[in-house]
Amino acid sequence: MTPLPNAWTLDPDTLAEAVALRHELHRCPEVSGAEHETAKRIASRMRTFGAEVATGLGGTGVAAVFGAGDRTLMIRAELDALPILEAEGPEHRSEVDGVGHLCGHDGHMAILFAVASALSRHAPATRVVLLFQPAEETGAGARAVLDDPKFAALRPDMAIALHNLPKLPLGAVALQEGPVACASKGLHVAFTGQTSHAARPENGRSPGLALARLIPALAALSRDVPTEDPRFRLATVTHARLGVPSFGISPGEAELQVTLRTLLNAEMEALEAEARGLIATMGAEFAPVITVHDPFSHSVNAPAATALLESATQGLPRVKGAIPMRPSEDFGLFGTEIPAAMLFLGSGTDHPELHNPDFDFPDALIPIGAEIFLRGIAVFSASKTDKMS
């Protein structure tokens, strides 16, 4: 195992500061695209470590650069929280009504804080970019960062990340080459008919029957195969509305939302085409208008980046069969342009699920995650360019 500089040892004071930062971020969550104060807090902390800091990446993103060299390793965390009301819980619970860090992004940021603290004490033998990405939860953040002209100067040779994963033993690692998280895309469909008196529905055009037929037809596009099967597909109707709540009006409009999910991007194209075909055929009378929301690329771990994380996680307990997971991860888009890999770190077998109102990132994962990334930096620094291409 590649040795770490003594200065990278995560002392109790550093870890206490990282935990304090997580609790601070947890109390003040911000949703995707609105992470202004979160970004200010992160940028301020990174400057105290002497990093070269870029702000406004893809909107509110922050990048902290340490070290120098002709090769760059990027490590990503996320800035955003969720529009979910947090349950009564820890003293550091959210102070923002209806918004909570219920996916663990506060913990991921705290891990990079601990990494930055170590790098400030001993500069890495390569260039390291710590990216705090906006809007992961909507699938918009990675694309915005990649498209930002400021990213060209930061563009890495390799990117790595982690995500906590409940129901795995605390601190256990799930990691593999190939697909690790699904592609997904939301379709919103609006139907327009004509209202009428409820006593004379024949004088209007209600989209009710079309909506009722379309819901099971979309669900039937799913395939009952394991998630790891390249043919996997899932269509989930997440919302449907018909007219307005009334006993006197036959409805004249409706809307439907469906989330499409596949293991790989190529299958997503086919699934979306089939879904659009059903909508166009079954809703033809009501001029359906389709808009796309929250598009996520598949996440596929590249061989070299996976090998780096394999080296960085030596000695940690491993879990098989936990990935690929059905949820999507915005980090996957980086992997379509840069060799990239993500590992999953167990939050505990009894830990609440991601996006649950009682989820709270385990502070015990901060030193584990930070040491993994520091070992990854050491491996990247010691490797030859041709081995990491």
Most distant CA pair in the chain: distance in Å?
A: 81
pLDDT of residue 19: 98
- Residues forming the annotated binding site for Mn(2+)? 103, 105, 137, 163, 355
- Sheet with 289-296, strands from edge to edge, namely 233-242, 253-262, 183-192, 289-296
| Rounded CA separation 175/307 (Å) | 10
pLDDT of residue 387: 43
**Residue 107 tokens, joined:** 């913990």
pLDDT of residue 166: 97
Is-contact 255 229, C-beta < 8 A?
Answer: no
Nearest residue to 75 (alpha-carbon basis) of 160, 172, 143: 160
pLDDT of residue 89: 84
pLDDT of residue 2: 73
Nearest residue to 162 (alpha-carbon basis) of 306, 351, 35: 306
pLDDT of residue 384: 64
Helix (H) or strand (E) holding 72: strand 72-78
pLDDT of residue 389: 39
- Tell me the β-bridge partners of 52: 65
Is-contact 134 30, C-beta < 8 A?
Answer: no
Sign of CA pseudo-dihedral 205, 211, 212, 213: positive
- Residues forming the annotated binding site? 103, 105, 137, 163, 355
pLDDT of residue 385: 45
SS3 state at 71: coil
In the chain the domains, ranked by start, together with CATH numbers, are 6-181+298-387 (3.40.630.10), 183-296 (3.30.70.360)
Parts of the chain with a pLDDT under 70 = 1, 384-389
